[in-house]
A and B are shown apart, each in its own frame.
Chain A
């Protein structure tokens, strides 16, 4: 019921639509759904019909059902086989095949969270759990129950998915927590048990017990010998004797068992000192993990990526450039002005600057993003025309070359080229690469040095230090002195991290305007003169 209801509700969402039933990744869940219902139906019918009738019905249904099923399966297979991706959507395929996205969907591959993680990122995110997880897997195998085999499957699949892209570290986290919980619990179990067996109070008792039993056994053995002797000598009451013998055996068995179990337990017992030290170390490990988690939560997860800080010898330095730019946009532009930027800054611009954007982080319209990517990778004139057709007033670029902020638009630029080129084939990635290398120095290709992104990022950059040394790329820029003809700089933040340019009005009006402004200038000067003369 829930499957049907959930699917219906999901298909009401415009983006999902019929994808919930048409794509292959949902097939498994529906198959299970169908199988469960078939089984339930079979049981129900079995309850209604008499056994004979049921047999007849089974043969009938099997005969018809097999034919129908094979027909349906044939149709399904034909449909699935006809689609190029076998009915799988790109996003799930990029999960199953790590190289898929970079080949076919550059927009998915362009997101840094979709890259495969590096080992340091594992240690950063799950820290000691990375070492405890293997131990947990081993612990799961020791008695392999249903639950523990589920856990093993869970951890294996989640490790695979987290290996495909960084953001799926989220999937790994709970699995890793559970596995290392199992590992820790097993370890604590062993250590505390071995300590318990050897603690002074308990161990004395056990020693006494052992002593008693040994003395007792000695005594009983002696007695047995005695009784045997007496029995031998007297040779009376064979039944009694048998009974006694039985009793003896029983006793011996019991004693053997009672001796055996401590011995068995003894096998798992570690030396007292080492287990105490190991316990302390484990607790210490846990404590350090807590410290690491608090640090990571404070610095890496909750530190807003919009406000950057750097520590230097004279204290904390705050780079609040993003909010500076957004505040400027929200207060000093018209309410219905549109801002074009790479889609990473779309939601931020919408929320903080309260301005309409062309593309935002909801990346479902690939063509839109490709249009902006094309504009950014086109020469100034063509870009101006694209932006003009989109009714854009302001263009926002993020530039880290002054302060060394690495995730800026120049570093993301190749993705703009790829995504743009995916839709508009006249943008070709090799045009921007010199011998397969992405560079912005004097070796860069002319297409690169003339594209809008380069020009907006490095406009008047050379005047900051005289050489135009980019601190992110670590080189001097290729083209240093140039002017913008279709854009004008209207705002640049304190550390140059965000630069906002305004589109100049269309050209035919520019000609008119130059005339006008000339006449205006002359009129103002004349008015000034005429205004001044009577007062002087």
Chain B
């Protein structure tokens, strides 16, 4: 503290000797400083008047270096139109300049006016400057029970290269303060501390003030936030945000007692924050909240048609200096954020993080475009570092182009939309499914080819010949089996004809059935002969041949028996002998037939197994 104060004294001494800069003068300066959160917002309304003769086109804003390095956001706007019609404010371009002959340790920003300010004219400028890390916790270490106090330093007078005629300063705080630097015309009332009005101060007037106040707002600082926005033209924009969060306020020292925290959370743990609220787009879906060791169950989601609020609670209450890291992710419908005009697609999405009042020290936004995007250009409303990468994901051939934007010191004011323009052919969408389909198709084709191709290297090797012969034998055995089976069906027909006979007594039909069966059996036996010869000639069939021959023999026997039975029964019917006699004569044959049938079936099974 002492050092800073010394700095300021030196600065003020240096400033005293600086010359007046130009003919401009500020007829009225009204500054309002908002200290209710851990981001300091200074809104200055400057009434600029040209007292000289030449038209002036730029206004200089001066900040001490100590402050300037903490500027996160700076805009100047002027109100167009006069009187009651002042409505539209126009923001003016600002750039850092280094004018000559100026006192040291000052940083200059130049506001370019839209049209030059000619003699005697005046103009109202609204300047908003947002600072981070300017509220210093004092004391720097507190115990759990203490409230957090911060010190803020500023000049009571508006630091400007111009003469200021009338000025005032209002500091808004959360209501409690320890002390403030008392100057003439300073007073504190309610949640405000007022300085001024001061009149006719020369340029570079400086009077350091320090305000020591209570601020228990969550000092959530994301040391690093990586936002990954991945576009899928199948209809989804996936946003994944990796937070590395620290409580940037006064560090906790000594014991942390859960007892005290639970008993009186607002007294013993006033400086801690329990939860954060992220404001997501209304149609966000598939929202998750996790960290490296899994899902964090303490979150809550509610919303309506205009917004969706995700209340996330870190695993433990965040006390000063405590860190945590977590990831939130959500999907957004593509049509809400991706637009198309004249062949160019552009993504229009917010830059900053959706959590309120989080200061981000280093924000990296990665926009992952679909593979095959080209002619990529980015338009961001403020200066960012920018480069391109590629990301290889599932089914990628060359990788997806990634636009990386990096910005330090990001405050909620940076939550503006930015655009990524690119060209993308819709046909590229079909690439991945086609790749999968063709991949599977090729796999199956390869299988088919493998099954059907003969991969034998030597066509004359014994093993190969043996295999060929074996295949042949199998084919012939199959033929034999087919023939036998056909014989068996004919046997079935004969039996059926016998049954018909017993039912209807139509001998003629039975005989004709017998005839046709005879002829077909003969044909089959003719068919069988060459096949059997073939089988006998083959050397590979030695093993199976006896079984086959046995089968054929048994079948023949069966055939004979069946014929015998058939003729006997028909005979009996012709002789009109009684049922009993028929039964008597047939029974013994029937026994043999069933026995043979059984044997044939067994043999068929055995051969099948071989």
Chain A interface (Cβ within 8 Å of chain B)?
216, 219-220, 222-223, 227, 247, 250-251, 254, 307, 318, 320, 323-324, 326-328, 331-332, 352, 460, 463-464, 488-494, 496, 524, 527, 530-532, 534-536
Any chain A CB within 8 A of the CB of B438?
Answer: no
A-B contact pairs, 24 of them (CB 8 A): A222-B580, A247-B588, A250-B591, A251-B587, A254-B591, A320-B297, A323-B315, A324-B316, A327-B291, A328-B315, A331-B325, A332-B322, A332-B323, A489-B257, A490-B256, A491-B316, A493-B258, A494-B258, A524-B139, A527-B1, A531-B2, A532-B179, A534-B5, A535-B210
Q: How far apart are the CA atoms of A332 and B319 in the complex, in Å?
A: 11
Q: How far apart are the CA atoms of A307 and B258 in the complex, in Å?
A: 20
Q: How far apart are the CA atoms of A250 and B208 in the complex, in Å?
A: 131
Q: How far apart are the CA atoms of A494 and B580 in the complex, in Å?
A: 98
Any chain A CB within 8 A of the CB of B294?
Answer: yes
Any chain A CB within 8 A of the CB of B584?
Answer: yes
Q: How far apart are the CA atoms of A327 and B324 in the complex, in Å?
A: 8
A496 near B139 with CB under 8 A, answer no
Q: Which residue of B lies closest to A219 (CB)?
A: B580
Any chain A CB within 8 A of the CB of B255?
Answer: yes
Q: How far apart are the CA atoms of A77 and B323 in the complex, in Å?
A: 64
A352 near B256 with CB under 8 A, answer no
* Residues on B with beta carbons closer than 8 Å to the beta carbon of A223: 580, 583-584
Q: How far apart are the CA atoms of A307 and B294 in the complex, in Å?
A: 11
Q: How far apart are the CA atoms of A318 and B295 in the complex, in Å?
A: 12
Any chain A CB within 8 A of the CB of B524?
Answer: no
Of A220, A227, A323, A460, which is within 8 A of B257 by CB?
A460
Of A220, A323, A496, which is within 8 A of B587 by CB?
A220
* Residues on B with beta carbons closer than 8 Å to the beta carbon of A251: 587-588, 591
Give the secondary structure class of A's interface: helix
Q: How far apart are the CA atoms of A328 and B323 in the complex, in Å?
A: 8
B322 near A331 with CB under 8 A, answer yes
B182 near A490 with CB under 8 A, answer no
Contact with A along B306-320 (1 / 0, CB 8 A): 000000000110000
Q: How far apart are the CA atoms of A352 and B315 in the complex, in Å?
A: 13
Q: Closest CB of chain A to B253's CB: distance in Å?
A: 10
Q: Which residue of A lies closest to B153 (CB)?
A: A535
Any chain A CB within 8 A of the CB of B81?
Answer: no
B584 near A220 with CB under 8 A, answer yes
* Residues on B with beta carbons closer than 8 Å to the beta carbon of A352: 293
Any chain A CB within 8 A of the CB of B520?
Answer: no
**Within B185-241, which residues are at the interface with A (CB < 8 Å)?**
208-210, 212
* Residues on B with beta carbons closer than 8 Å to the beta carbon of A532: 179, 212
Q: Closest CB of chain B to A304's CB: distance in Å?
A: 8
Q: Which of A220, A247, A331 has the most CB of B within 10 A?
A: A331
B181 near A535 with CB under 8 A, answer yes
Q: How far apart are the CA atoms of A289 and B151 in the complex, in Å?
A: 69
Any chain A CB within 8 A of the CB of B430?
Answer: no
Q: Which residue of A lies closest to B581 (CB)?
A: A223
Closest 8 CB pairs of A and B: A492-B258, A535-B181, A331-B323, A324-B315, A327-B315, A318-B297, A352-B293, A489-B255
Of A320, A464, A491, which is within 8 A of B256 by CB?
A491
* Residues on B with beta carbons closer than 8 Å to the beta carbon of A332: 321-323
Q: Closest CB of chain A to B294's CB: distance in Å?
A: 7
A460 near B139 with CB under 8 A, answer no
Any chain A CB within 8 A of the CB of B433?
Answer: no
* Residues on A with beta carbons closer than 8 Å to the beta carbon of B259: 460, 463-464, 492
Any chain A CB within 8 A of the CB of B101?
Answer: no
Q: How far apart are the CA atoms of A331 and B247 in the complex, in Å?
A: 12
A536 near B179 with CB under 8 A, answer yes
A488 near B325 with CB under 8 A, answer no
* Residues on A with beta carbons closer than 8 Å to the beta carbon of B291: 327
* Residues on B with beta carbons closer than 8 Å to the beta carbon of A327: 291, 293, 315-316, 324
Any chain A CB within 8 A of the CB of B530?
Answer: no
B139 near A323 with CB under 8 A, answer no
Any chain A CB within 8 A of the CB of B83?
Answer: no
Q: Which residue of A lies closest to B323 (CB)?
A: A331
Chain B interface (Cβ within 8 Å of chain A)?
1-2, 5, 139, 179-182, 208-210, 212, 254-259, 291, 293-294, 296-298, 315-316, 321-325, 579-580, 583-584, 587-588, 591
Q: Closest CB of chain A to B56's CB: distance in Å?
A: 37
Q: How far apart are the CA atoms of A491 and B588 in the complex, in Å?
A: 99
> With contacts A490-B255, A535-B209 known, is A323 near B293, CB below 8 A?
yes
Q: How far apart are the CA atoms of A382 and B5 in the complex, in Å?
A: 50
Q: A489-B255, A490-B255, A492-B256 are in contact. List 17 more A-B contacts (CB 8 A).
A: A223-B580, A223-B583, A223-B584, A251-B587, A251-B591, A320-B315, A327-B316, A328-B315, A488-B254, A488-B255, A490-B256, A491-B316, A524-B139, A531-B2, A535-B180, A535-B182, A536-B179
* Residues on A with beta carbons closer than 8 Å to the beta carbon of B315: 320, 323-324, 327-328
* Residues on A with beta carbons closer than 8 Å to the beta carbon of B293: 323, 326-327, 352
Q: How far apart are the CA atoms of A304 and B272 in the complex, in Å?
A: 30
* Residues on A with beta carbons closer than 8 Å to the beta carbon of B2: 527, 530-531
Q: How far apart are the CA atoms of A464 and B261 in the complex, in Å?
A: 11
Q: How far apart are the CA atoms of A464 and B183 in the complex, in Å?
A: 50
A531 near B256 with CB under 8 A, answer no
Q: Which residue of A lies closest to B322 (CB)?
A: A332
Q: How far apart are the CA atoms of A216 and B255 in the complex, in Å?
A: 104
Q: Which residue of B lies closest to A492 (CB)?
A: B258
Q: How far apart are the CA atoms of A331 and B179 in the complex, in Å?
A: 35
Q: How far apart are the CA atoms of A524 and B142 in the complex, in Å?
A: 13
* Residues on B with beta carbons closer than 8 Å to the beta carbon of A492: 256-259
* Residues on A with beta carbons closer than 8 Å to the beta carbon of B294: 323
Q: How far apart are the CA atoms of A88 and B353 in the complex, in Å?
A: 64
Q: Which residue of B lies closest to A488 (CB)?
A: B255
* Residues on A with beta carbons closer than 8 Å to the beta carbon of B209: 535
* Residues on A with beta carbons closer than 8 Å to the beta carbon of B210: 535
Q: Closest CB of chain B to A219's CB: distance in Å?
A: 5
Q: How far apart are the CA atoms of A483 and B224 in the complex, in Å?
A: 40
* Residues on B with beta carbons closer than 8 Å to the beta carbon of A524: 139
Q: Closest CB of chain A to B136's CB: distance in Å?
A: 12
A531 near B591 with CB under 8 A, answer no
Q: Which residue of B lies closest to A320 (CB)?
A: B297
Q: How far apart are the CA atoms of A331 and B322 in the complex, in Å?
A: 7
Q: Which residue of B lies closest to A499 (CB)?
A: B258
Q: Closest CB of chain A to B145's CB: distance in Å?
A: 14
Q: Closest CB of chain B to A463's CB: distance in Å?
A: 5
Q: How far apart are the CA atoms of A531 and B139 in the complex, in Å?
A: 12
A536 near B5 with CB under 8 A, answer no
* Residues on A with beta carbons closer than 8 Å to the beta carbon of B583: 216, 219-220, 223
Q: How far apart are the CA atoms of A352 and B5 in the complex, in Å?
A: 46
Q: Which of B255, B297, B584 has the most CB of A within 10 A?
A: B255
* Residues on A with beta carbons closer than 8 Å to the beta carbon of B322: 328, 331-332
Q: Closest CB of chain A to B255's CB: distance in Å?
A: 5
Q: How far apart are the CA atoms of A372 and B11 in the complex, in Å?
A: 60
* Residues on A with beta carbons closer than 8 Å to the beta carbon of B255: 488-490
* Residues on A with beta carbons closer than 8 Å to the beta carbon of B588: 247, 251
Q: How far apart are the CA atoms of A10 and B212 in the complex, in Å?
A: 70
Q: How far apart are the CA atoms of A532 and B1 in the complex, in Å?
A: 10
Q: How far apart are the CA atoms of A527 and B257 in the complex, in Å?
A: 30
A331 near B324 with CB under 8 A, answer yes
Q: How far apart are the CA atoms of A493 and B314 in the complex, in Å?
A: 12
Q: Closest CB of chain B to A275's CB: distance in Å?
A: 30
* Residues on B with beta carbons closer than 8 Å to the beta carbon of A307: 297
Q: How far apart are the CA atoms of A219 and B182 in the complex, in Å?
A: 136
Q: How far apart are the CA atoms of A493 and B256 in the complex, in Å?
A: 10
Q: How far apart are the CA atoms of A222 and B322 in the complex, in Å?
A: 109
Q: How far apart are the CA atoms of A254 and B593 in the complex, in Å?
A: 14
Q: Closest CB of chain B to A319's CB: distance in Å?
A: 10
> With contacts A254-B591, A331-B323 known, is A489 near B179, CB below 8 A?
no
Q: How far apart are the CA atoms of A393 and B580 in the complex, in Å?
A: 108
Q: Which residue of A lies closest to B245 (CB)?
A: A331
Q: Closest CB of chain A to B98's CB: distance in Å?
A: 32
A496 near B258 with CB under 8 A, answer yes
* Residues on B with beta carbons closer than 8 Å to the beta carbon of A493: 258, 316
* Residues on A with beta carbons closer than 8 Å to the beta carbon of B325: 331
